[in-house]
Amino acid sequence: MVRTIDVVQYDSAWDEAFAHEAAALARVFADALLGIHHIGSTSIPGLAAKPIIDTLVVLRETETIDRFSGAMEGLGYRVRGECLDAEVPGTPGRFYFSKDTGGARTHHVHVCAVGHPEITDKLAFRDYLRVHPHRAAEYGALKERLALNHRHDTVGYMRGKDAFIRSMLDEARHWAQSVSLTDESR
3-class secondary-structure state, position 109: strand
3-class secondary-structure state, position 19: helix
Four-residue CA torsion sign, 185, 174, 61, 112: positive
| Pairing relationship of beta strands 33-39 and 94-101 according to DSSP bridges | unpaired
Domain CATH for 135: 3.30.460.10
pLDDT of 185 reads 45
Element at 112 (helix H, strand E): strand 104-113
| Residue 103: inside a domain | yes
| Residue 59: inside a domain | yes
Domain range for 103 is 13-180
- Residue 48 CB contacts under 8 Å (≥ 6 apart), including other chains: 7, 8, 9, 10, 41, 140, 141, 143, 144
Neighbours of 151 (CB within 10 A): 15
| Residue 54: inside a domain | yes
Q: DSSP character for 66?
A: G
Contact 49, 40 (CB under 8 A): yes
| Residue 185: inside a domain | no
| Residue 7: inside a domain | no
| Residue 153: inside a domain | yes
| Residue 162: inside a domain | yes
pLDDT of 7 reads 97
Per-residue tens of pLDDT for the chain, all 186 residues: 578 999 999 999 999 999 999 999 999 999 999 999 999 999 999 999 999 999 999 999 999 999 999 999 999 999 999 999 988 889 999 999 999 999 899 999 999 999 999 999 999 999 999 999 999 999 999 999 999 999 999 999 999 999 999 999 999 999 999 988 665 443
Q: Could you give the number of structural domains in the chain? A: 1
| Residue 186: inside a domain | no
- Residue 136 CB contacts under 8 Å (≥ 6 apart), including other chains: 44, 46, 47, 129, 130
